[in-house]
Amino acid sequence: MSKQSSETSVTSQGTKTFEPKLTHTESNHSVQITTIRLNEGNFMRWSQSVRMYIRGRSKIGYLTGETKAPDTSDPAYSVWDAKNSMVMAWLVNSMEEEIGANFMRNSPRGENVTRYFSAFKRLWQDLDLFNDYEWKSSDDFKHHKQIVEKRRIFKFLAGLDVEFDEVRGRIIGRKPLPTLE
């Protein structure tokens, strides 16, 4: 494993700053971290595989929150941000496109979870108004409703902030999934 290199630079005020650099292996974001791509039915297997890879790269603290972000004025912040983004890229690139896209697009970014859920629920209700399917049987309707419900649960959970990772994992790991009601 390569050691972390560093660079000393002089600011316009003449002070020296120390900035750790990413090593070659750390800067390679496009690595396929697992052959298991997260989908609606394999969260436990996927998460174990991803955790092993990230732990093996000594970046598990970024996943668990143990590696805290330095203050944005700290010169080490840019390296922390780059490594954190790298771990996030590994995660998103190991997900099915639909899940990864939702993860990137729907993050509440500190928004109150109740408001976040309410916004989703309003959108879903609006979409349901346009549902004009003609069902041949009540079983078809029930099956369709279960599929839609499952997708909505995954979309909602995928958009939660990282502070909810543990709860998200427990919910996704439940059989059967809880309902949105």
72-90 confidence digits (pLDDT tens):
899 998 898 889 888 888 8
Residue-wise pLDDT tens digits, 41-69: 888 898 899 999 999 999 999 888 899 98
pTM for this entry: 0.47
Structure tokens given for 101? 């896209």
pLDDT of residue 101: 64
CB 133 within 8 A of CB 144: yes
Type of residue numbered 176: P
> Which pLDDT band holds residue 130 (cuts at 50, 70, 90)?
low
28, exposed or middle or buried, with CB in 10 Å at 0-12, 13-18, 19+?
exposed
Three-class SS of residue 19?
Answer: strand
Phi, psi of 63 (to 5 degrees): -80, -40
pLDDT in tens, 4-53: 444 444 444 555 544 445 554 454 445 778 888 888 788 889 889 999 99
